[in-house]
C-alpha cells in the first residue's frame, strides 16, 4: 500500500526536480512523473512478494539439478524439500490478485540469475533457514514465520538488493524499499492470520489516491505565498533567506501547503513528517531549522485565525 509517508517523500522529490528543471518541465509532465513514481512503488511491493516465489523456484531447480549429477550423493537424491514446499509461497503462487499484477506488469527476478543465486545463497546460509529446515515438524504458521524472518533479517537489509532495485528502476530507492518492505511483512502476517484480502491495495481509499497530485498542485500554486511567510520569520531571526538550502525551503513550503489545505490531517502529524524529511534529505541541521521556522509560521497563522485545526 502506498501510504502518506511515501507520498510526501515523492512529492517533495518531484517539487525539487520541478524547481531545478521547470524551464523545460510543465506542471502536467511533473504530475505524470509523480504518478509514475507512485505506481512503481506499488510495483515494488508486488515484486518483493514475487521474489519469494522466484527464490523458491530457483531452489527447486538446484535440487533437481543435483539429482542428475554424475555421482549424486544420498542427500542429492533425497533432498529436504521443506523450503521448496513452503505453504506461504504456495499461497502466493495461487493468489490471483498477485499473479494477475505480476503478469500484467511482466514482473520477474529471473532476468538476473546471478543476483538471484547470490541472494538464495545468503538465504540458505542464514540461521533462520537452518533452524527452519532442522525443525521436527512444520505447519502453515511456521512456514509464514520463516519467510517473515528471512525477509526481515536477510533480504530487506541486503545492500545488494538495494543496488539491484535501484538499477531496475530510476523510481526505486531506499525509501521505497523500507516502506514497501514493511508492507510485505504486514502482508505475511495477514496471510498467516487468515485475512480474506491480505494483499494490500495500491491506496487505502480515494482520499489517499488523490493526496499526492493535490498536494503537489497546491504546493506549486502557493509557493510564492509560502516563501514570503518563511522569509518573514527567517529575517526576524536575522538569518540570510538567500542562503536557505533549496530542499529546506521546498520542505517547509510543502508542509505549510498541507497544514493549510488538508483539515483532516493534524498539524503535529504534518510537522513531524516534514521535519523527518528535512533530516533525511537536507543538511545535518535542517531538522532543527525547519522545526523552528514552521513552529513560528504556524503560531502566527493560528493567531490570525488562518489555522483552526489541532
Same domain, residue pair 78 and 156: yes
Q: What is the pLDDT of residue 309?
A: 77
Residues in the chain: 310
157/15 Cα distance (integer angstroms):
29
Same domain, residue pair 100 and 20: yes
Same domain, residue pair 228 and 189: no
**How many domains does the chain fold into?**
2
67/72 Cα distance (integer angstroms):
6
Same domain, residue pair 154 and 238: no
170/204 Cα distance (integer angstroms):
25
Q: What is the pLDDT of residue 124?
A: 97
What residue numbers bound the domain in which 105 lies?
A: 4-193
80-131 residue pLDDT tens: 899 999 999 999 999 999 999 999 999 999 999 999 999 999 999 999 999 9
Q: Which residues of the chain have pLDDT under 70?
A: 22-24, 76, 235-243
Residues 119, 124, 125, 127: is their CA dihedral positive or negative?
positive
Same domain, residue pair 129 and 13: yes
Go through 248-274 and write b for each residue having 16 or more CB atoms within 10 A of its CB, e for each that does not: bbbbbbbbbbbbbebeeeebeebbebb
Spatial CB neighbours of 37, under 8 Å, sequence gap ≥ 6: 10, 13, 14, 171
Q: Give the pTM.
A: 0.91
Q: Which CATH number covers residue 289?
A: 1.10.940.10
Spatial CB neighbours of 69, under 8 Å, sequence gap ≥ 6: 76
Q: What is the pLDDT of residue 24?
A: 65
**Residue 206 placed within a domain:** no
Give the chain's largest Cα–Cα span.
Answer: 84
Same domain, residue pair 159 and 292: no
**Residue 284 placed within a domain:** yes
**Residue 246 placed within a domain:** yes
**Residue 78 placed within a domain:** yes
**Residue 228 placed within a domain:** yes
**Of 140, 175, 193, which marks where a domain is finished?**
193
Same domain, residue pair 176 and 136: yes
Same domain, residue pair 87 and 227: no
Three-state secondary structure string covering the chain:
CCCHHHHHHHHHHHHHHHHHHCCCCCHHHHHHHHHHHHHHHHHHHHHHHHHHHHHHHHHHHHHHHHHCCCCCCHHHHCCCCCCCCCHHHHHHHCCHHHHHHHHHCCCCCCCCHHHHHHHHHHHHCCHHHHHHHHCCCCCHHHHHHHHHHHHHHHHCCCHHHHHHHHHHCCCCCHHHHHHHHHHHHHHHHHHHHCCCCCCCCCCCCHHHHHHHHHHHHHHHHCHHHHHHHHHHHHHHCCCCHHHCCHHHHHHHHHHHHHHHHCCCCCHHHHHHHHHHHHHHHCCCCHHHHHHHHHHHHHHHHHHCCCCCCC
Same domain, residue pair 180 and 279: no
Same domain, residue pair 138 and 250: no
**Residue 141 placed within a domain:** yes
Q: What is the pLDDT of residue 244?
A: 79
**Of 155, 175, 193, which marks where a domain is finished?**
193
Same domain, residue pair 144 and 282: no
Same domain, residue pair 150 and 295: no
CB 50 within 8 A of CB 108: yes
Amino acid at each position: 500500500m502506498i501510504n502518506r509517508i511515501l507520498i510526501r517523500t515523492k512529492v517533495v522529490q518531484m517539487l525539487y526536480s520541478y524547481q531545478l528543471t521547470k524551464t523545460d518541465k510543465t506542471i502536467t509532465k511533473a504530475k505524470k512523473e509523480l504518478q509514475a513514481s507512485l505506481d512503481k512503488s506499488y510495483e515494488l511491493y508486488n515484486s518483493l512478494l514475487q521474489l519469494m516465489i522466484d527464490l523458491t523456484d530457483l531452489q527447486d531447480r538446484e535440487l533437481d539439478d543435483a539429482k542428475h549429477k554424475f555421482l549424486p550423493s544420498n542427500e542429492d537424491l533425497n533432498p529436504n524439500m521443506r523450503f521448496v514446499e513452503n505453504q506461504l509461497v504456495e499461497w502466493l503462487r495461487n493468489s490471483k490478485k498477485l499473479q494477475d499484477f505480476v503478469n500484467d506488469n511482466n514482473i520477474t527476478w529471473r532476468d538476473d540469475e546471478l543476483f538471484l543465486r547470490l541472494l538464495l545463497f545468503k538465504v540458505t546460509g542464514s540461521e533462520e533457514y537452518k533452524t527452519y529446515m532442522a525443525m521436527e515438524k512444520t505447519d502453515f504458521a511456521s512456514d509464514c514465520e520463516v519467510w517473515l524472518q528471512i525477509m526481515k533479517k536477510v533480504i530487506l537489509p541486503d545492500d545488494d538488493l538495494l543496488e539491484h532495485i535501484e538499477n531496475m528502476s530510476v523510481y526505486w530507492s531506499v525509501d521505497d524499499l523500507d516502506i514497501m518492505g514493511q508492507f510485505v511483512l504486514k502482508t505475511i502476517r495477514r496471510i498467516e492470520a487468515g485475512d480474506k484480502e491480505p494483499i494490500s491495495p495500491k491506496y487505502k481509499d480515494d482520499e489517499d489516491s488523490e493526496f499526492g497530485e493535490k498536494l503537489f498542485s497546491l504546493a506549486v500554486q502557493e509557493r510564492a505565498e509560502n516563501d514570503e511567510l518563511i522569509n518573514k520569520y527567517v529575517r526576524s531571526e536575522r538569518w540570510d533567506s538567500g542562503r536557505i538550502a533549496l530542499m529546506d525551503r521546498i520542505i517547509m513550503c510543502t508542509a505549510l501547503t498541507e497544514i493549510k489545505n488538508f483539515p483532516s490531517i493534524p498539524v503535529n502529524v504534518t510537522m513531524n513528517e516534514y521535519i523527518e524529511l528535512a533530516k533525511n534529505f537536507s543538511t545535518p541541521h535542517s531538522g532543527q531549522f525547519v522545526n523552528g521556522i514552521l513552529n513560528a509560521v504556524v503560531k502566527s497563522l493560528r493567531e490570525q485565525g488562518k489555522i483552526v485545526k489541532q
